Chains A and B, each alone.
Chain A
Amino acid sequence: MPRQPDTLQGTLDLLILKTLERGPNHGFGITLHLQTTSDGLLRVEEGSLYPALHRLERTKTIKGEWKITANGRRARYYRLTRDGVKRLAGAEESWAVLTDSVGKILGYV
Chain B
Amino acid sequence: MSILRRLFRRSAISDDIRDEIASHVAMRAELNQEAGMSPEEALRAARRQFGNPTLVGEKLYAFSGFGWLDGLTQDLVYALRGLRRNPGVSLTAILTIAIGIGAAASMFSVMRNLLLAPPPHVASSDRVFRIHHLSPPEEGGDGPGEPYVGTSYPFYELLSERAESLEAVAAYSSLDVAAGTGPDARMTQAVMVSAGFWRTLGVRPAEGRLILDEDAHPAAGARVVVLGHAFWRSRFGGQAGAVGQTLRIKGQ
Number of interface residues of A (CB under 8 A): 21
B19 touches which one: A48, A55, A74 (CB < 8 A)?
A: A74
Contact between A76 and B23, CB atoms less than 8 A apart? yes
Q: Provide the bound-state CA to CA distance between A22 and B28, in Å.
A: 21
Contact between B60 and A28, CB atoms less than 8 A apart? no
Q: Does B51 contact A (CB under 8 A)?
A: yes
Q: Does B230 contact A (CB under 8 A)?
A: no
Number of interface residues of B (CB under 8 A): 24
Contact between A46 and B23, CB atoms less than 8 A apart? no
A47 touches which one: B30, B55, B62, B64 (CB < 8 A)?
A: B55
What does DSSP make chain B's interface, helix, strand, loop or mixed?
A: helix
Q: Which residues of chain B have C-beta atoms less than 8 A from A38's C-beta?
A: none
Residue interface mask A3-46, B partner, CB < 8 A = 1? 00000000000000000000000111001000000000000011
Q: Which 9 A-B pairs have the closest CB atoms?
A: A45-B51, A47-B51, A47-B56, A51-B59, A54-B63, A28-B27, A47-B50, A28-B24, A1-B62
The interface of chain A, by Cβ under 8 A from chain B, is 1, 26-28, 31, 45-48, 50-51, 54-55, 58, 66, 69, 71, 73-76
* Residue contacts A-B, CB under 8 angstroms, 17 given: A1-B62, A27-B23, A28-B27, A46-B24, A46-B51, A47-B21, A47-B24, A47-B52, A48-B51, A50-B20, A50-B60, A51-B59, A54-B63, A58-B64, A58-B65, A66-B19, A73-B27
